[in-house]
Amino acid sequence: MNSLRLAAGAGPSGRALIELREVWKTYRMGKVEVHALRGVSLAVAEHEFLAVMGPSGSGKSTLMHLMGCLDLPTRGTILFDGADISSLKGSELAEIRGRQIGFVFQTFNLVHTLTALENVELPMIFQGAPRASRRARAVELLERVGLSDRLQHRPNELSGGEQQRVAIARALANDPKIVLCDEPTGNLDSAAGMRVLESLRDLNEEGRTVILVTHDAEAAGYARRRVQMRDGRMVEAAEEALR
């Protein structure tokens, strides 16, 4: 199981991998301003398994997009590995996303014209990995999520649970430090969801930082720390002991 672990160093270090300081995100729709985040502060250390919980519309996805360098805050500071992401160029943010972050979405977001294998290869193409090693790694990752007999299937030939496992394999393609998941079990039944959550726990155990956005308390139970959001604010940050 741990044949692919790497990247994330050995033990916990004190420094935060991602740190948000008084972060605001405001969407302007015509004359109306929507404050999706209203001054969120949060630090995520290396090797953490964090669940972000909260009702619909509370700003969880917005928060995840910011932590994943997919977007920039309207106000406040976000430090990724010590660097202020607002001062980075678009190509530098893309570099961070490509090398350090893996995303898993509620709707899987696989490229429907590509096979499972090609979907997993995709992030490596953008990093310029040579074809042979890229393919070998994609096969290995799909084996790991139990899909070695589905390599040439296209997304519409896979079940939801299988698609999400392809998405997890894809998230791991460039061996990222962090895996960000937005409601990864939202479209799955409980058995398939459990399988996904177990993979996430394995990823964390091999040293990766995992951030899980969910409104499902049971899913959040897999995390080692939970934070609660409401109306764009962090309302509760209860640390919990290891189970």
Binding site for ligand ATP (CB under 6 A): 27, 29, 34, 36, 54, 56-62, 215
| 128 touches other proteins (CB under 8 A) | yes
Q: Which stretch binds Mg ion (CB under 5 A): 20-28, 61-69, 70-78, 81-89?
A: 61-69
Shortest spacing between CB 15 and other proteins, in angstroms: 24
| Nearest-angstrom CA–CA distance, 76 and 69 | 14
Q: Name the DSSP class of 2.
A: G
Quickly count: other Cβ atoms within 10 Å of residue 114's Cβ: 14
Distances (CA, A) of 139 to 30, 116, 135, 173, 243: 48, 10, 6, 10, 33
Indicate which of other proteins, Mg ion, ligand ATP, none lies near residue 36 (CB less than 5 to 8 Å, by partner kind).
ligand ATP
The residue number whose beta carbon is nearest to Mg ion equals 61
Q: Which of 60, 97, 177, 225 binds other proteins (CB under 8 A)?
A: 97
Q: What share of the chain is helix, strand, coil (3-state, %, to 5)?
A: 35, 25, 40
Residue entry with tokens 């290396």: 46
- Tell me which of 61, 74, 77, 187 binds Mg ion, using CB under 5 A: 61
Nearest Cα residue to 125 out of 98, 160, 155, 88: 98
Instruction: List the single partner that 98 binds among Mg ion, ligand ATP, other proteins, none, CB under 5 to 8 Å by kind.
Output: other proteins
Q: Which stretch binds Mg ion (CB under 5 A): 14-22, 55-63, 71-79, 143-151?
A: 55-63
222 binds other proteins (CB under 8 A): no
Give 54 or 68: the residue with its C-beta nearer to other proteins: 68
**Sign of the four-CA dihedral 140, 164, 156, 62:** negative
* Site residues for Mg ion per CB under 5 A: 61
